[in-house]
Structure 1
Amino acid sequence: MTNIILSAIVAVSENQVIGADNGLPWRLSNDLKWFKKTTMGKPIIMGRKTFQSLPGLLPGRTSIVISRDPDFTAEGAIITHSLESALEIGNETAKQMKTNEVVIIGGAEIFHQCLDQLDRIYLTRVHATIDGDTFFPDFNTSEWREISNEFHPKSEKDMYDHNFIVLEREQAL
């Protein structure tokens, strides 16, 4: 069996904002489509607040939710209490789903905890400085190489210009 790739998908403003008031601080229809296409058929790992910010379970994906609250439940989602446990469940679920990728979808604390373990980042760079209260952690860009970079202009459905960038961790020699 191929190794399971651990990825993160995130939209980040020029000043590293990823959220405001437990939601997205922009409207980017294009990014939502890219998110769906990128995560479809894969297990997705998220924190409780991220899960609660969604409209519900995302179809075609297995939701693994990390919560410190031992009483937290969410019908249809797998609840766990640590990143390590979520990653183990994600790897097993990926094999069952016949995919080689597990995708972290947020929030900031989960991104921070798993940054050193990521193999790939699907980064939507939002070309704007945004007011927000949630930030993507700094990471050493020299450890990553750009696999693809696609520009999209703002439009009626997209508030800002943005790029879809795929980064893969440089393998140590």
Structure 2
Amino acid sequence: MIHENISIIVAIAQDFAIGKNNDLLFHLPNDLKHFKEITSGHTIIMGRNTLLSLPKWPLPKRRHIVITDKPDDHFEGCETVFSIEEAIERVKDEKEAFIIGGGMIYRQFYPLAGKLYLTVVHQDFDADVYFPEINFTDWTEFGREDFHDEKNGFDYSYINLRRK
């Protein structure tokens, strides 16, 4: 069942790579600002490793839901849940909640999400975690901006998609 209020936000390489060694593949300051603009004032849902990879948490102006399988987990300033279903139940009355990773959480939410907010870096990277391959015929584009990052020397795009 598609949940129209569940959105995924992710930065991916052109081959769907998203991370290596529990870290991001690239550093794009403008993308971090973009992430903050889109997610501020909303709930963000993540796995425990994604939370632990953040330099500081909780992130300001966002409600945090952390999915874990460890019954003793407690993260200051965050709500802890033990299943995808429990996370969905917690945000059922919200206009929009954002899935922010990691790989296993993305795979589980991908078939359920109504929107994707992609940052696509137009090159490949050495990675050990990948986003599920996107069948773009299942999605309608509702926003796109293209950029060139001078510092890193690569092109990237913000692409917003709504499930058909």
Q: TM-score, normalised by structure 2?
A: 0.93
* Contact residue 47 and residue 67 of structure 1 kept, 8 A: yes
Match of 1:97 in 2: none
Q: Could you tell me the percent identity over the aligned residues?
A: 40
The structure richer in strand per residue is 2
What residue ranges of structure 1 are gaps of 5+ in the alignment? 95-99
Task: Give 1:46-57 correspondences, 5 Å limit.
Answer: 46-55=46-55, 56-57=57-58
Report the equivalent of 1:155: 150
Bigger share in helix:
1
Q: Which residue of 1 aligns with 2:33?
A: 33
Paired with 1:70 and 1:30, the residues of 2 have a C-alpha distance of 37
Deviation at 1:4, TM superposition (A): 5.8
Shift of residue 87 of structure 1? 1.1
Match of 2:90 in 1: 89
**Maintained 8 Å contact 1:47/1:65:** yes
User: 1:79-125 deviations in whole A, cap 9, x for unaligned?
Assistant: 00001001111234x3xxxxx10110011111111111111000000
Note the C-alpha offset of 1:139: 2.9
In 2, Cα distance between equivalents of 1:25 and 1:148: 24
Q: Secondary structure at the match of 1:18?
A: strand
Give the corresponding residue for 1:103.
98
Q: 1:135 aligns with which of 130, 135, 139?
A: 130
Aligned length: 161
AA in 2 matched with 1:54: L
CA displacement at 1:159 relative to structure 2? 5.2
- Cα drift, residue 155 of structure 1: 2.2
What is the Cα-based RMSD across aligned positions, in Å? 1.4
- Counterpart CA distance in 1 for 2:65 and 2:76 is 11
Equivalent residue number for residue 79 of structure 1: 80
Query: Which deviates more from structure 2 when the two are superposed, residues 65-74 or residues 159-168?
Result: 159-168
2:15 corresponds in structure 1 to 15
**What SS does the aligned partner of 1:153 have?**
strand
Q: Which amino acid in the other structure matches residue 106 of structure 1?
A: G
* Structure 1 runs, 4 residues or longer, greater than 2 Å off: none
Find out whether 1:125 has 2:120 as its counterpart.
yes
TM-score for both structures, normalised by structure 1? 0.89
